[in-house]
């Protein structure tokens, strides 16, 4: 994926988070070393380009934005189970 496409995805996710919850303590982030890209939330990595674990659909990956949202929900569920 192109860097600008990834950046747009992160900006969209942060906008949706703000629209839904207002100001929050953490944001989605994008970091890169030029060849490996990481998208995460807070201090947790949710997607790493060199280890892309999205489902493949007709020889293409599922869209990144819904995948990131699903990974965040799974992470939140895990935190709830551990904290109870």
The residue range of the domain holding 67 is 3-83
DSSP state of 54: P
| Pair of tokens at residue 80 | 């709830």
As to burial, measured by CB atoms within 10 angstroms (0-12 exposed, 13-18 middle, 19+ buried), residue 5 is exposed
44 pLDDT tier (thresholds 50, 70, 90): very high
Which of 26, 37, 40, 47 lies closest to 55, judged by CA?
47
Number of domains within the chain: 1
Q: What integer is the mean pLDDT of 70-74?
A: 96
Give yes or no for residue 59 having a pLDDT over 90: no
> Would the pTM count as exceeding 0.85?
yes
Q: What integer is the mean pLDDT of 71-80?
A: 94
């Amino acid at each position: 994926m192109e860097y600008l496409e990834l950046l747009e995805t992160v900006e969209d996710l942060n906008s949706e988070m703000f629209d839904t919850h207002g100001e929050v303590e953490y944001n989605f982030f994008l970091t890169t070393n030029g060849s490996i890209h990481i998208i995460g939330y807070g201090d947790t990595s949710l997607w790493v380009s060199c280890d892309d674990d999205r489902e493949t659909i007709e020889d293409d990956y599922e869209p990144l934005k819904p995948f990131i949202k699903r990974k965040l929900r799974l992470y939140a569920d895990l935190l709830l189970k551990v904290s109870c």
